[in-house]
Structure 1
């Protein structure tokens, strides 16, 4: 059991684990390797994105690249901040209650876990909305979307996720140290505040995934209909539009596979009757193990996101499908204009 210390902070609860078991579970090499892999993947994606933004001028794709940059940057910072805490905790096997009796580090990590968990889902929904408008109503917005507007949307998503993450510090729910004692997250308790915060987190994440699925489905269907329409020679989707949708669908699939098990598990656990958590704040060993497994699966989202962009670029897609046209002016949702044709190399 977790060692007893007088007047523990509000983030501590009993755990079904001994120091020997914790030493076997909390491998610093696994955590460090996982973190390094994710950081390297996101750094590679950021470098590729930087090259793509410099190579291309203002275009509808520039806003999509801005969203991608915000997504990869968020994933990178999430792995860096949370990974630094987890790896150092695994390496030193410190007693969280002795090192952080006031729970400030736990509260910080709890906010970070919620913030960096929700941001990819919300950004995925924002990207799906931007592409939905650009594909289904191409005449309802300017031809060139300002990257500044895209960055403003990214910052708005960050503020929404941060505001939700700060709610436990304002009294709605609370963060606690989770099994095996190396990370902090929302509490799966039956208290009204914990239930409300758990449902808010899970439902907002699930709605983001659901909205992405709906809008991406309509966008893909629209592209297919235009591609096979009677005026296909003038209205086929451009290579870049196909590329963006392939990347966006990949991001959506990764988010769904990685996050939906954890979100569904949170809803089922906080609504279960009788409550899963005992009055003393202790979860069953099976529940603690499930939460840890689902959290590790969700963390893979931050590693796989950059590879979706790296692998599903036009340069890679053309190697797999050499028949993709290299004449973007001839493959557009809008009829080509003479000025556009003359500007192409």
Structure 2
């Protein structure tokens, strides 16, 4: 978030950076509002137990953060595809407002679903080893089954759509020179196609699929009653989802345009040393 704010004059809050900032904020709040309670549970040697209200709050925040992050990653993928299909897409005056509306709509949708457990459609459940809460997908009640099926089906759909969009985007870049031209680095510092955004989105997608899919599959298997346990397997799946929230900001730090440009300039300097005057011209 700090890096995005510092470089705001360069990216001018384009659609990608708006949605990435929303993703970073979602991940940050998801960890900030839930992880301290897990730490308290471990520090107390498992003697501290969550009150019902705290458990419901943790469940709401975790479900909300996971679903909103998945939708934002999907929106990022669609945004890149729109840029390739319609390069003039960014020239619309109302574009910035539209993306703000999309972000708010994503947050509202995920929040409404997360609230269902608070109004009687299912309930919050404490999971092994008593350090985290999620909506109840273990017990076969009507509300719990509805939440489990809805969450898993929506999540599977988001993952499938995101993967298909990214694959189509990469195919279009490789087979359509005109589409690839829309990614040309406008500052000409690197002399290469400025595809860091797509690389970042693909990396985030791979990270999300690898870390969040196991929990989604587990929820779906519980809904089908192929699994009924609440044990350490659910705990490790939940830890993977936390890992994804930690990985996303680091992917941006490593794969952002400024970092890639510095690596390219360093590589060129090592191969072909240039004079200080030429170096100043490149940096401009």
| 2:51 maps to 1:88 | no
Residue 206 (structure 1) aligned to one of 156, 159, 179: 156
Structure-2 residue corresponding to 1:5: none
Structure-2 residue corresponding to 1:170: 119
Structure 1 residue 295, shift from structure 2 partner: 0.7
Structure 1 residue 290, shift from structure 2 partner: 0.7
User: Which has the higher Rg, Structure 1 or Structure 2?
Assistant: 1
Structure 1 residue 320, shift from structure 2 partner: 4.7
Q: Distance in 1 between matches of 2:132 and 2:72?
A: 24
Structure-1 residue corresponding to 2:197: 244
Q: Distance in 1 between matches of 2:253 and 2:241?
A: 20
Contact 2:87/2:182 (8 A) holds in 1: no
Structure-1 residue corresponding to 2:247: 304
Q: Distance in 2 between matches of 1:321 and 1:265?
A: 43
Structure 1 residue 269, shift from structure 2 partner: 2.1
SS of aligned partner of 1:185: strand
Structure 1 residue 95, shift from structure 2 partner: 4.1
Higher relative contact order (CA 8 A, sep 6+): 1
Distance change (3 Å), C-alpha of 1:171 and 1:308: same
Between Structure 1 and Structure 2, the one with more helix by share is: 2
Moved more, 195-204 or 48-57: 48-57
Structure-2 residue corresponding to 1:68: 20
Structure-2 residue corresponding to 1:259: 212
Q: Distance in 1 between matches of 2:91 and 2:34?
A: 39
Q: Distance in 1 between matches of 2:123 and 2:11?
A: 46
Structure-2 residue corresponding to 1:292: 235
Structure 1 residue 147, shift from structure 2 partner: 3.1
Contact 1:226/1:237 (8 A) holds in 2: no
Q: Distance in 1 between matches of 2:81 and 2:100?
A: 18
Structure 1 residue 254, shift from structure 2 partner: 0.8
Structure-1 residue corresponding to 2:270: none
Q: Distance in 2 between matches of 1:304 and 1:145?
A: 32
Distance change (3 Å), C-alpha of 1:323 and 1:86: closer
How many residue pairs are counted as aligned between the two chains? Answer: 259
Residue 318 (structure 1) aligned to one of 261, 268, 271: 261
TM-score by length of 2: 0.82
Structure-2 residue corresponding to 1:121: 70
TM-score by length of 1: 0.69
Contact 1:136/1:219 (8 A) holds in 2: no
SS of aligned partner of 1:239: coil
Structure 1 residue 321, shift from structure 2 partner: 4.6
Contact 2:11/2:17 (8 A) holds in 1: no
Structure 1 residue 152, shift from structure 2 partner: 2.1
SS of aligned partner of 1:180: coil
RMSD over equivalenced CA pairs, Å:
2.5
Distance change (3 Å), C-alpha of 1:261 and 1:216: same
Distance change (3 Å), C-alpha of 1:211 and 1:144: farther
Contact 1:190/1:271 (8 A) holds in 2: no
Structure 1 residue runs of 5 or longer lacking an equivalent are 1-45, 277-282, 325-344
